Amino acid sequence: MSFTRVLIANRGEIARRIQRGCRKLGLESVAVFSEADRDAPFVAEADHAVCIGGAAPSESYLNIDAILDAARATGAGAVHPGYGFLSENAGFAAAVEAAGLVFIGPEADAIAMMGSKIEAKAAAEAAGVPVLPGYRGEDQSDARLLDEARTLGTPFLVKASAGGGGRGMRLVTDLADAPEAIASARAEAQGAFGDPAVFLERYAPRARHVEVQVLGDTHGTVLHLGDRDCSLQRNHQKLIEEAPAADLPDAMRDDMLSAAVRLAQSIGYRSLGTVEYLYDPARGEYYFLEMNTRLQVEHPVTEAITGIDLVEWQLRIGRGEALSFAQTDVQFDGHAIEIRIAAENPAENFRPETGQITLWAPPAGVRLDSGVAAGSVVGHHYDSMLAKLIVHAPDRAGAIRQAVAAIDGFAVGGVGLNLSYQRALLTHADFQAFRHHTSGLPEMFPDGWTQPTPDAGDMALAAMVLHLHLAPAGASPWESLGSWRLTAPAGRPGTASYWTTSEDEPIRISGAPAVLAAVLPDGQTITAETTALTGGHLSGRIDGIPFSRIAHVERAGNHWRVHLQTSAGMIVTDLCTLEDQHLTRAAGGSGGADLLSAPMPGAVAEVRVAPGDTVAAGDTLVVLEAMKLLQSLPAPVAGVVTEIYCAPGDTVAGHAPLVKLDPEE
């Protein structure tokens, strides 16, 4: 079981995290990468790197033969699957072992057993772990499933046996909807996992998601490393994770921990694993959900409160080492929170964001597990999660404050992220009081969530940031602004003007750094003294009170983008100079309301119309797949379809024309 070189069958931030674990133990790392990831940080930082195929996961990160060929070619003695992709594929684990390599994870039989939700729940019951009432039988006929549904009663869930992440799951609140729910869950399960088997389970509407980290070696020792709460979820995808689980009765916590260890022992489990529970506070009960047989995305919060390097111990166990500590040696310190940072726009139904990262300025003093850097290209082929921000404090309130402060100091350009949304979750009264639950987002934001916008003072400061950025150091801006200056013929000598995208009238800046005045479109004037833009900070005084804000400026297409730290978080303001206004007018516009264009690069999954079809505004014309999500693209206007520029299976670029309409008169 000895090895000195580890192939990492994954990408992005988890590949970099495993590389750090390898370096800690003096092991060499081998990165495998797709054509799309050729310039990614995890490739550059590996000791060895091999391209294994095209950008599509099926051609690279899911290509077992290519991965094993790369392991043989580089002399790797072990394979670490990370999470996602092949990490819970029993066939992959068996193939690695058959090739004479060490699989850094549990045995294939354990992966297969826990990969079937039906088998996993049977194993949990056998180990004395409570499970939700429901039906998990082999008879998959419609008649049997509908009969069991009537016995179970509503509300209940139809769930894919081989599922995960909310795929193949349907909520039934009316028995009349059960046949359609079963049929659609089966179809999605077949398409996503190649297995149409489903089961029925009672639905707990205000439940929490609590999980227990277990660690087992090859010598028969199994320990728990505490619990985590992952209740803040959207579409069954975790958003924020924390350890330990707060507001959990001590007796309940102890029972969950011991049950997780008991289950792992009963199946002879080795390596890292996570036993996940549904906790129903109203009933005072918990139920087994599933066991994840891999490293979890949220493992850093457990590392933070225990001081135990989980990746290091995965590798040590892979080498056959026995755990060097007992259960009583595991101590828990403080509270940790992890925020998943994703390339998506929550204000537009979480639309995936793609493009090149032009600015990457993370906060200092906190842990950031990231797969990207300035210059990285975010494509549509992979999951939208780019990084994870982890904070650790003596208590939960302190951890929340640290997390908010870290988000407020994080500036990213070129690709939109979900940081403002995560900040809204952290500062929401329900989250802070621990009233949230797995389906609670509609309660937290009943009218939906909107992106925060700068107030008058923030807009004035953003214009000052750009003004100082455009003036060379040491020069009077009135000598250096050139074509951006409005001079005496315009009636405002020595005044520079900047337009936001939402105002026809500009923000006018006058004066010098000693005293800068900003006149807003509504006539309000804000004056700042001793202003300076240095080292990514804007500083000065307003009404005699000093201030210092994180501030970054970047060029974004035909305008400037200012990132400014405010009391509402990091706010982005798009500003145009006078020259930008003239250049945009000279270039003219393109497209129009009669043209449906791709909002991002992606693969065309469906085209739902044909030439000659009459459509209403909002009708779905094309379904685009990007970042593992399906995006329904609606008709921008009512009219008749005149031309279609794409077909199912096509890969299209961002802003590519898809459907042309003849608008309704």
Question: Which tens digit of pLDDT belongs to each residue from 487-516?
Answer: 333 434 468 899 997 778 899 999 989 999
Length of the chain: 665
Q: Look at residues 458, 368, 441, 353 and name the one whose alpha carbon lies nearest to residue 407.
A: 368
511-to-185, 425, 426, 496 alpha-carbon distances in Å? 65, 40, 40, 10
pLDDT tens figures, 252-300: 999 999 999 999 999 999 999 999 999 999 889 999 999 999 999 999 9
Query: Among the CATH numbers 2.40.50.100, 1.10.1040.10, 3.30.70.20, 1.20.120.530, which is that of 595-663?
Result: 2.40.50.100
For the cut 90, the answer to whether the pLDDT of residue 102 exceeds it is yes
Task: List CB contacts of 288: < 8 A, sequence separation 6 or more.
Answer: 120, 121, 124, 129, 130, 131, 132, 259, 263, 275, 276, 277
Identify any residues that bridge with 378 across adjacent strands, giving them in sequence order: 355
376: tokens are: 């990285």
Contact of 72 with 397, CB cutoff 8 Å: no
| Buried-state track 119-148, b at ≥16 Cβ within 10 A, e below 16 | ebbebbeebebbbbebbbeeeeeeeebeeb
Query: Strand runs (DSSP E) across 431-524, as ranges?
Result: 485-486, 495-500, 507-512, 515-519
Q: Look at residues 149, 49, 32, 34 and name the one whose alpha carbon lies nearest to residue 382.
A: 34
Q: Look at residues 170, 547, 567, 183 and name the one whose alpha carbon lies nearest to residue 407.
A: 567
Contact of 241 with 298, CB cutoff 8 Å: yes
Q: What is the pLDDT of residue 227?
A: 98
Alpha carbon 339 to chain centroid, angstroms: 8
Q: What is the pLDDT of residue 28?
A: 98
Contact of 658 with 598, CB cutoff 8 Å: yes
646: tokens are: 């794409």
Distance, in Å, from the CA atom of 187 to the CA atom of 639, rounded to the nearest integer, reads: 33
**Residue 428 dihedral angles phi and psi, to the nearest 5°:** -70, 140
Q: What is the pLDDT of residue 312?
A: 98
| Buried-state track 308-330, b at ≥16 Cβ within 10 A, e below 16 | bbbbebbbbbbbeeebeeeeeeb
Q: What is the pLDDT of residue 165?
A: 67
Domain spans of the chain? 5-104, 133-202, 456-587, 595-663
Q: What is the pLDDT of residue 193?
A: 87
Contact of 134 with 199, CB cutoff 8 Å: yes
CATH architecture of 5-104: 3-Layer(aba) Sandwich (3.40)
Q: What is the pLDDT of residue 591?
A: 46
For the cut 90, the answer to whether the pLDDT of residue 164 exceeds it is no
For the cut 80, the answer to whether the pLDDT of residue 484 exceeds it is no
| pLDDT-derived band at 627, boundaries 50, 70, 90 | confident
172: tokens are: 């039934």
DSSP state of 95: H
| pLDDT-derived band at 245, boundaries 50, 70, 90 | very high
Q: What is the pLDDT of residue 626?
A: 81
- Which of the residue ranges 70-84, 181-195, 312-326 would you say has the lowest mean pLDDT? 181-195
pLDDT tens figures, 118-161: 899 999 999 999 999 999 999 999 999 999 999 999 999 999 99
For the cut 70, the answer to whether the pLDDT of residue 482 exceeds it is no
For the cut 50, the answer to whether the pLDDT of residue 483 exceeds it is no
Q: Look at residues 576, 619, 656, 572 and name the one whose alpha carbon lies nearest to residue 354.
A: 656
Please provide the CATH number assigned to the domain covering 456-587: 3.30.700
145: tokens are: 């499933």
| pLDDT-derived band at 587, boundaries 50, 70, 90 | low
Q: What is the pLDDT of residue 435?
A: 93
Query: Among the CATH numbers 3.90.1150.10, 2.30.33.40, 3.30.1490.20, 1.25.40.20, which is that of 133-202?
Result: 3.30.1490.20
Task: Report pTM.
Answer: 0.86
What mean pLDDT comes out for the span 647-652? 84
Average pLDDT, the chain: 92
Q: Using the structure block, give the residue that is written with the tokens 């959990």.
A: 248
DSSP state of 635: P
For the cut 50, the answer to whether the pLDDT of residue 205 exceeds it is yes
